[in-house]
Amino acid sequence: MNPEDDVCLCFHVSQQKLTNFIKREQPKVASKLSECLGAGTGCHWCVPYLELMWEQWEKGETPQLNFSPEEYAAQRSEYHRSGKRAPDWPPAEESDGS
């Protein structure tokens, strides 16, 4: 995903907005990301991804979701249709060889 792509599709909260919020507010728990324009409080699809971004920040990494926005949106549509996440989603992060 690019920084301007939405992580929270319900409230159009971009990856960059979330990253800036995390850096500015330094939340102690991932659930505090909901204070960034209501992220994660709509359909709840993005909650695991908000948690992932927060975990990356806690490890000292720059929060970054490495999925295509099209596939992310398609998986969300399937989640809404079926009420379940695909067992192979999210895809495993690619190893950097370290």
Average pLDDT over residues 47-68: 94
Q: Which amino acid is at 85?
A: R
Largest CA distance in the chain: 38
**Count of the separate structural domains present in the chain:** 1
Domain contains 63: yes
Structure tokens at 27: 């939340």
Q: What is the pLDDT of residue 52?
A: 94
Does the pLDDT at position 94 exceed 60? no
53 within domain boundaries: yes
In which domain, by residue range, is 12 found? Answer: 6-82
Token pair belonging to 98: 């370290």
pTM above 0.75, yes or no: yes
65 occurs within a structural domain: yes
Domain presence at residue 1:
no
